[in-house]
Amino acid sequence: MAELALIRTAQGLVPATEADRETVQKWKAGQVIHGKFTRMRNGKFHGKFFSMLDLAWEYWEPVGGLIPRQEMRGIHGLAKFFEAQSGKPGQLSNAVAAYITGLEQARAERFPAVDKSREAFREWVTIEAGHYHLVHTPEGIRKEAKSISWANMDDTAFEPLYRDVFNACWRLVLSAIFESEQEALAAADQIGSFA
């Protein structure tokens, strides 16, 4: 079930963010949508949060050739372990690079088109910001982003989430694009003014 934020305007209800707009566009004309609605405590914070996420998402480009960061850490960690055991640091660097290149190519052939997902990005950056809980799955323990349900979150709970997610967006994406955090925030505000 999708969560959606709408803004009441003179023309009726309109999506609050680009992500909300994309959700609405997936519905067919004339389709009846049913839901429970609550008035949010601070709609401006909501818009500011998603404008900042939209900005980071627009500049983010997926990298890694379908090799998750944890797997890369494991490969590099194992190579460093063997190098330390042999007393020859760096001796496996060429072999590791060749292995990773081969792995990327093999996975690119198996999975030629991978979609860039706004929702997956939001979950990833929320986890990177430290707002997650651990869950057991058949494949082991994994991190799951905490819910950012606005109906259950007051301004006091939202403020640290916003700050932490902005810091993660800055560290992981926006610092490579903008000169300062203020410049990034101004760009996000500009995106929000067009929503």
In angstroms, the first-to-last Cα distance of the chain is 23
In our burial notation (b when 16+ CB lie closer than 10 A, e otherwise), range 24-45 reads eeeeeeeeeeeeeeeebeeeeb
* Portion of the chain with pLDDT greater than 90, in percent: 37
pLDDT digits (tens, 9 = 90+) for 115-147: 788 889 999 999 999 999 999 999 889 999 988
Predicted pLDDT of residue 41: 62
pLDDT, tens digit, 9 for 90 and up, residues 4-32: 888 888 988 888 878 888 888 998 988 89
Asked whether the whole model's pTM tops 0.85, one would answer: no
163-172 per-position pLDDT tens digit: 999 999 999 9
DSSP assigned state of 139: T
Report the alpha-carbon distance of residue 124 to residue 146 in Å, rounded. 11
Query: In 3-state terms, what secondary structure has residue 156?
Result: helix
So what's the pLDDT on residue 178? 94
> DSSP E strands: which ranges in the chain?
6-9, 12-15, 132-137, 140-145
